[in-house]
């Protein structure tokens, strides 16, 4: 999915759209730090430099097209006023327009995390902490974690390991207000990025 030519075309179109807006006017609203001609945008704890001319990491290296699409859309979707940040947590399938991508999200996020970390909760914890995740208190799950996909978009991961009766299970939750900052395709990508970085920490 990250190498899809459709994503590359979308990215080029989004860069053209960024040229038509003042991205720096959105910095305060989203809690972003401006640099020299770019905004510093953290995605799962990694900083990216976003400008209308392109997106890179701080060393100047190009990043995957999927990441670039998400970062562009994050700035383009930014509301003119900050909406109430709901504390209500929802699964991806509960978002109003998620229907066509629910199967994709489940397969490429929940299932990958389940199969990769079944029987190895310590490794999941190690990988989560390395990418900036924090552990939440839970009496229900073997491991409850919180990440920050982007400012204003926390992501929760609840994981129960396999046992004699049940396979491992993973659930990914968002605030209901996440749909104010990203469309459903890009929200789905935040799930696959979470899974990808947990299983392959070096992924850009």
| Domain boundary residue, one of 77, 108, 127 | 77
CB-based contact 57:48 (threshold 8 Å): yes
Look at residue 133 in the predicted model and tell me its pLDDT: 97
Residue 169's CATH number = 3.30.310
pLDDT digit string (tens) for 161-184? 999 999 999 999 999 999 999 999
pLDDT single digits (tens) 107-142? 999 999 999 999 999 999 999 999 999 999 999 999
pTM: 0.92
Please check whether residues 51 and 104 belong to one and the same domain.
Answer: no
**44 and 146 Cβ atoms separated by less than 8 Å:** no
Task: Choose one of 77, 103, 125: the last residue of a domain.
Answer: 77
Residues 194, 101: one domain?
A: yes
Domain membership of residue 204 (yes or no) is no
Q: How confident is the model at residue 4 (pLDDT cuts 50, 70, 90)?
A: low
97 and 182 co-located in one domain: yes
What does the pLDDT read at residue 7?
A: 80
- How do beta strands 39-43 and 46-51 pair? antiparallel
- Residues forming a β-bridge with 159: 143, 170
Residues 72 and 96 in one domain: no
| Token pair of 18 as six digits | 């960024």
Domain match, 134 and 56 both? no
Please say if the pLDDT value at position 6 is more than 60.
yes
Percent of the chain predicted with pLDDT > 90: 87
The whole-angstrom separation of Cα 63 and Cα 49 is 10
In a domain, 140, yes or no: yes
Residue 39 shares a structural domain with residue 125: no
- Shared-domain flag, residues 129 and 180: yes
pLDDT above 50 for 1: no
65 within domain boundaries: yes
Can you give the residue range of the structural domain that contains 19?
5-77
Specify whether 51 is located in the same domain as 29: yes
135 lies in the same domain as 179: yes
Question: 18 and 48 share a domain?
Answer: yes
- How high is the pLDDT of residue 2? 43
pLDDT at 81: 86
Number of domains in the chain: 2
Q: Of 77, 99, 126, at which residue does a domain stop?
A: 77
Distance of CA 84 to the CA centre of its chain: 20
């Amino acid at each position: 999915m990250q190498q899809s030519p459709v994503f590359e075309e979308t990215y080029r179109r989004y860069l053209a759209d960024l040229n038509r807006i003042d991205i720096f006017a959105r910095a305060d609203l989203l809690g972003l730090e401006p640099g020299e001609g770019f905004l510093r945008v953290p995605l799962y704890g990694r900083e990216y430099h976003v400008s209308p001319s392109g997106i890179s990491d701080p060393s100047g290296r190009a990043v995957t097209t999927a990441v670039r699409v998400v970062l562009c859309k994050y700035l383009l979707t930014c509301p003119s006023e900050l909406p109430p940040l709901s504390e209500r947590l929802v699964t991806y399938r509960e978002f109003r327009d998620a229907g066509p991508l629910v199967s994709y999200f489940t397969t490429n996020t929940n299932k990958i995390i389940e199969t990769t970390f079944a029987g190895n909760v310590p490794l999941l914890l190690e990988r989560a902490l390395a990418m900036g995740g924090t552990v939440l208190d839970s009496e229900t799950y073997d491991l409850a974690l919180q990440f920050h996909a982007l400012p204003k978009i926390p992501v929760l991961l609840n994981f129960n390991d396999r046992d004699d009766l049940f396979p491992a299970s993973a659930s990914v939750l968002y605030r209901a207000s996440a749909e104010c900052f990203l469309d459903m395709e890009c929200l789905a990508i935040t799930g696959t990025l979470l899974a990808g970085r947990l299983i392959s920490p070096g992924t850009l």
